Chains A and B, each alone.
Chain A
Amino acid sequence: MPRLTLAARIGLIMVIGLISVWIAGVALYFRTHGSDAEGVHPAPERLAALATLIETAPPEQRAQLLAAVNTDLFAARIEIGDAGGGGRVPAPLDARLRDAYATALSGHATIITTPPVPTGARFLAKLAANPRNALEFHIGLRTGQVLVVDTRNPVLVTPDGLPVGFGAGLFGTFVALAALVIMQRETRPLARLAAAVDRIDLSGDPIPLPEARRSAPEIKALGRAFNRLQERLAALIKARMAMLGGISHDVRTFATRLRLRVDQIPEGEERDRAVADIADMIRLLDDALLASRAGAGELGQELVELDEILRSDVSDRQAHGAPVSLAVTPEAEGASLLGDRLALRRIVANLIDNALKYGHRAEAALGIEAASLVLTIDDDGPGIPPGQREILLEPFIRLETSRNRRTGGAGLGLAVVRNLVEAQGGTVTITEAPIGGARMLVRLPLFRVG
């Protein structure tokens, strides 16, 4: 039952429970009054009156009399012979009932038997011969004949006085109820497993799934397998982060030596280029490291004021004469978001780098819309055609493949931006800038106390 919701299950349990209670109630009713009331046990007075009537009626009217009283369940006929003869065995009846019949029919030789059962009969036929289902009254008449009355119960009942099938029905409902409850219990660990898989947080230590002690072995095995998988995944990520950290450390050490040695090159264009190359190399390394940290959910979480980061980046660039402007709306002043400071710096730096690379100037603006901080970075370059906007946010894609490394970079910039923005719950879109080029639009969730 894969799609039964909890409510449906509770409903089903209730319905099945009610049915079982109801069946039990009917069974109780049948046992106490059902079959004893009439049917198979006709009132003794009725039999006595019938016997007397037949005795006193003229012989030619007896057939009509019998026709008048006979029904499907009460068939009387007149036979010739002796009531006690034929080796008939009295049916096992309640003492009270037998006494009542004996008293009422005291003037007649009476024997109460069960109807003969055909040999080799099946269960139902045998059951039909049960004294609760059928009786045969042999009442000796003064005329020397025997009044034979066959009575039958309209519903077949068992020796307990319950209709046939009752027990099976009740048993079935109980089994269904138990099955539902057991299934519920058995599937609970699976639901827990699904929740644990969703919750998996690769940045922290793995939280082992609690052992479901009373579950089936397969489910226990699944839980243990999940725990092992989680540990392996965590170990893998830890190893990867450690490796990246190690690479980063060593590359930075080499770069430091190189940077210090470069100063021994005589001042000039070559030296400036070497310095720029080292800076580019380190930026690439930082991008890759940050992006992989974001992918592993390892970004920090602190309150960061985005306007402050923008201001420091823009004023640094302005100090070097770059044509960058910044406009912050009053409500975005000092607005905080919960994120990673370094990642946010990288987002801002990459977007402005990009704008300056493809245009002549960059215009940054920060505002607030509903619950988001909205950062736009516009350039006056050629812009990006709508069909290529989405693909540009993928790694290693650049619009102008012919560009040399100085202007192009490895094509990681925007992919890293997207990676970092999304890891912090935001979105990046590319549209057109009012000043002619492309507009990068970043939305990040605003932090509000409460």
Chain B
Amino acid sequence: MSAATILIVEDDPDIRRLVGDLLGREGFAVEPAEDAAAMDAALARTRPDLIILDLMLPGEDGLSICRRLRAQDAIPILMLSAKSDEIDRVVGLEMGADDYLVKPFGPRELLARVRAVLRRGQAPASRTANRRFVFDIFVIDLDARQLTGPSVAITLTSAEFDLLACFVQRPRRVLSRDQILDWIHGRSAEPFDRTVDMLISRLRKKLETASPGSGLITTVRNGGYLFTPHVKPVS
């Protein structure tokens, strides 16, 4: 494990050097890269055991890189961010980073996270294989596109499933119509305000029929929607 290779993608040369020196002293092999292009070049040369990725990079930013890497393979990613308020969303469901550190961080903190992520990374990657979650009385499988109630499968249209998937991946957070549209239709969303409302009322009805009185989707002031249950991943 001490021979693990770590790719550092960080635009600030000082931090890159300081982190590199620190990891080097601890016996890791270090590959520095200052942006996405340099990272791709390094990835073509070697296969690192861990990528330390800065969130804010010139050109392609850390979020986009993270999404791209996740789609390809399962190299563990440790995110670095100077924005403490956005980091929650980076990790886990949305972006798939394995862990994060908010700048400024101390050397000991960094080493502890790096080691923890490497340890987890050595276990067979399970995150990409399985995207099943439980909420209320339901189980949803995002890959098989199935929603199951306590006894039977619940039939949802494709649009309703996309909407529910969007909620399941962002539970307990107020989502505006625009955000929902963005996520279920991609960037080229046309303004279908009413469509979202109708879709939500249909989905709400189906969930309500299967689980009466649960109030899973709530409307809040200023026209936002809130998916109220706790969502937990299942294996």
Chain A residues engaging chain B, CB cutoff 8 angstroms: 201, 245, 248-249, 252-253, 255-261, 263, 275, 278, 282, 286, 293, 300-304, 336, 338, 341-342, 449-450
Contacts and interface: CB of A to CB of B under 8 A. Distances in A.
Nearest to B11: A253
Given A245-B83, A303-B172, A341 B107 contact: no
Given A252-B104, A293-B85, 19 more contacts: A245-B83, A252-B82, A253-B12, A253-B15, A255-B103, A256-B82, A257-B14, A258-B104, A259-B104, A260-B22, A261-B18, A263-B106, A263-B107, A300-B174, A302-B173, A303-B173, A341-B88, A449-B228, A450-B215
Nearest to A345: B84
A423 to B, nearest CB: 14
20 contacts: A201-B222, A252-B82, A252-B104, A255-B103, A256-B12, A256-B15, A256-B105, A257-B15, A259-B105, A278-B104, A293-B85, A301-B226, A302-B172, A303-B173, A303-B226, A338-B174, A342-B88, A449-B215, A450-B215, A450-B218
A438 B84 CA distance: 31
A202 B45 CA distance: 49
A255 B103 CA distance: 8
B56 interface: yes
Nearest to A248: B82
Contacts of B84: 286, 342
A274 B179 CA distance: 43
B19 interface: yes
A300 B215 CA distance: 22
Contact of A248 (B15, B83, B106, B218): B83
A298 B123 CA distance: 40
Interface in B103-125: 103-107
B224 interface: yes
Contact of A301 (B22, B173, B228): B173
B189 interface: no
B220 A301 contact: yes
Contacts of B228: 303, 449
B173 A260 contact: no
Contacts of A338: 174, 220, 226
Contacts of B85: 293, 300, 342
A257 B18 contact: yes
B55 to A, nearest CB: 10
B172 A255 contact: no
A175 B44 CA distance: 85
A445 B105 CA distance: 35
B56 A249 contact: yes
A257 B220 contact: no
Contacts of B220: 301, 338
B104 A301 contact: no
Give the interface centre of A257, A261, A263, A275 by most chain B CB atoms within 10 Å.
A257
Interface residues of B, number: 27
A438 to B, nearest CB: 29
Contact of A275 (B12, B15, B106): B106
Contacts of A341: 88
Contacts of A201: 222
A260 B18 contact: yes
A20 B151 CA distance: 72
Nearest to A203: B222
Contact of A257 (B12, B56, B88, B173): B12
Contacts of A259: 104-106
Interface in B1-30: 12, 14-15, 18-19, 22
A89 B49 CA distance: 126
A393 to B, nearest CB: 24
Give the interface centre of B84, B104, B107, B172 by most chain A CB atoms within 10 Å.
B104
A201 B22 CA distance: 47
Nearest to A275: B106
B177 to A, nearest CB: 12
B224 A301 contact: yes
A301 to B, nearest CB: 4
Given A257-B14, A260-B19, A449-B218, A301 B106 contact: no
A301 B14 CA distance: 36
Contact of A252 (B19, B22, B103, B174): B103
Interface in B39-63: 56
Nearest to A278: B104
Contacts of A258: 104
B174 A301 contact: yes
Nearest to B13: A257
A336 B218 contact: no
Contact of A260 (B82, B107, B174): B107
Interface string B73-103: 0000000001111001000000000000001
Nearest to B22: A260
Contacts of A253: 12, 15, 82, 103
A341 to B, nearest CB: 7
A336 B230 CA distance: 11
Nearest to A340: B85
Contacts of A257: 12, 14-15, 18
Interface in B137-178: 172-174
A303 B135 CA distance: 15
Contact of B104 (A255, A300, A302, A336): A255
B52 to A, nearest CB: 12
Contacts of A303: 172-173, 226, 228
